[in-house]
Structure 1
């Protein structure tokens, strides 16, 4: 487990969510916040996060939509402990299960969820220099193939349930192939840092037994200016509302 002096206590959603996380190693950023904002959950829904880390996405989603049943699966025991502590710190009930995606416990394999969310490792195994910190190496470097994440998600979804995941834009082909014959009604929302810049991330929505055609939306632009304006934030108003106020991310119609 993490030693207390190695942890920081960080504010998200303008201080509405507080997260204990290691000062060094893997630290959550805006990606899980955007992921949580993209989920159209309603009170009473069940949500499963694969690879929940310290619980940021679950906590942000649970803050925006009350009355959810929130379950997280995490491989690394220190982060399992942090996620449970963060649930208590934010007065949210989280069911955090320590398990490998390839070997989920029987009781979890017997459950179905209205929503599955995931922020899988961004880099293929061997595609980047591995981090020295174990937590960061596991979070960023793919040990379990992306296709297995999506297969596990599809098996855990209830009929007509939704998968939402965030991933690097250059992994789009991998995501589409993995969803074939598993999930349908795919929507892809590219995320670009600024106008005129290529998308670096994608949000993907897919539905169990969905039959609608693939939709590739216009990109979500994060920042207002075409270049960095200096030492101050310049998020667009709709992005600022997501990151600071916990607003929902509105998918294009």
Structure 2
């Protein structure tokens, strides 16, 4: 990873995060993931593959009093996450380790919420990124099933796992959940009217027995195409991205 870093604002500047100038850089996806988590003050949250801490710290900014833990395999990104926690006045424990070989510090721990933004691209059907940090963040080195297994093992009874992923990987994600987590809800994210949903938010519960639910999509941008400079987010997305509002699943 390059030594050069930039500092970027999230949630309308409430959160300032340092991240690599090159390599994997956090966009809106971890912010949307954090907004969808139904956490309550006092609960324990683990993020698998926390990177620089974007999702974890967005959630901690929205919901006060959470016990936050991040697991990150890349030591350089974990160090940035630790620094970002300190600079934003957020209490969090960042652990360097591989979710497929769970560190001893987490093997006996249980959490009310486990969240993850797994690598999107199956490298059996795509091209690797040149930057090693970006490739490890975006290219699926650890199988998606291992992410689900790690989440299920770390969840307390009745705890929730929350994922954001590309829509075409939904069958793989649902297959990995089979027999591990239940009460599955899927919230598609549609970039513009008339387009297929490119992303999905998925929530599942340990011990859950409710029927599977596929909700109507959330529209991210106004209009059918980008027609002018500047943002075109819908009011809901602006509230989530700029004000730290919740992105709630329908009841």
TM-score scaled by structure 1? 0.98
Structure 1 residues 1-253: aligned runs within 5 Å:
3=3, 6-253=4-251
Q: CA RMSD in A?
A: 0.9
Preserved contact between residue 2 and residue 78 of structure 1 (Cα < 8 Å): no
CA contact (8 A) 2:2 2:22 kept: no
Q: Please state whether the residue corresponding to 1:49 is helix, strand or coil.
A: strand
Separation (CA, whole Å) in 1 of partners of 2:123 and 2:107: 27
Structure 1 residue 2, shift from structure 2 partner: 5.3
**1:186-232 deviation digits (Å, cap 9, x = unpaired):** 00011110011001000000000000010000001100111112111
Could you tell me how far apart the structure 1 residues matched to 2:113 and 2:153 are?
Answer: 12
Q: Distance in 1 between matches of 2:117 and 2:163?
A: 6
Give unpaired runs (5+ residues) of structure 2.
none
> Any stretches of 5+ residues in structure 1 without a counterpart?
none
Distance in 2, Cα, partners of 1:44 & 1:59: 15
Measured after TM superposition, the shift of residue 126 of structure 1 is: 2.5
Deviations 1:76-134 (A, max 9, x none): 01001000000011110110000011111223110100000000000113221111111
Residues in 1 aligned to 2:224 and 2:178: alpha-carbon distance in whole angstroms: 37
Structure 1 runs of 4+ aligned residues shifted over 3 Å read none
Q: Deviations over 1:141-197 (max 9, x none)?
A: 000000000011000000000000000000000011000000000000111100110
The superposition leaves residues 225-248 of structure 1 with CA deviations (integer Å, 9 ceiling, x where unpaired) of 111121110101011000000000
Aligned residues: 251
CA contact (8 A) 2:2 2:21 kept: no
Q: Deviations over 1:12-66 (max 9, x none)?
A: 0010001101111100000000000000101100000000000000110000001
What is the DSSP-based 3-state SS (H/G/I as helix, E as strand, rest coil) of the residue aligned with 1:58? helix
